[in-house]
Amino acid sequence: MHRLCVYGLLLVLLGCKSTASESEIMVLRAEVLPSSGEGTHSEIGKGSCQAPTFIEGKFYTLGTQVVHQGRLYTAVHENNAGYDPAAWGWFWTVEHQCESTP
């Protein structure tokens, strides 16, 4: 069986050494790697986007909402130094697609 190895924010699926137990790896895999298209942007609904536009490099606190590429995102982790929501999913969660942007 392959193991999911975590190096910072980089996830690698290969036969590497890991101190995590198999159950911890399976939990991590379930949280990070959605199966069969679950959690894709095409499945999210549409709604109002009453939030400022995302600015790359600006620090965002936990719970801050921003609009980026037509989607509303919420910061879900501290120490978010303005990481692009579309590229850094660990720092953000997609709430929904915007019906209109600010």
Spatial contact of 16 and 5, defined as CB atoms under 8 Å apart: yes
* 95, containing H or E segment: strand 92-98
Indicate the CATH number for domain 41-98: 2.10.10.20
pLDDT given at position 85: 95
Cα→Cα distances 43→20, 77, 96, Å: 32, 23, 9
* Side chain identity at residue 33, one-letter code: L
Spatial contact of 25 and 18, defined as CB atoms under 8 Å apart: yes
Neighbours of 69 (CB within 10 A): 13
Tell me the per-residue pLDDT of 46-100, one tens digit each, with 9 for 90 and over: 888 899 999 999 999 999 999 999 999 999 998 899 999 999 999 999 999 998 6
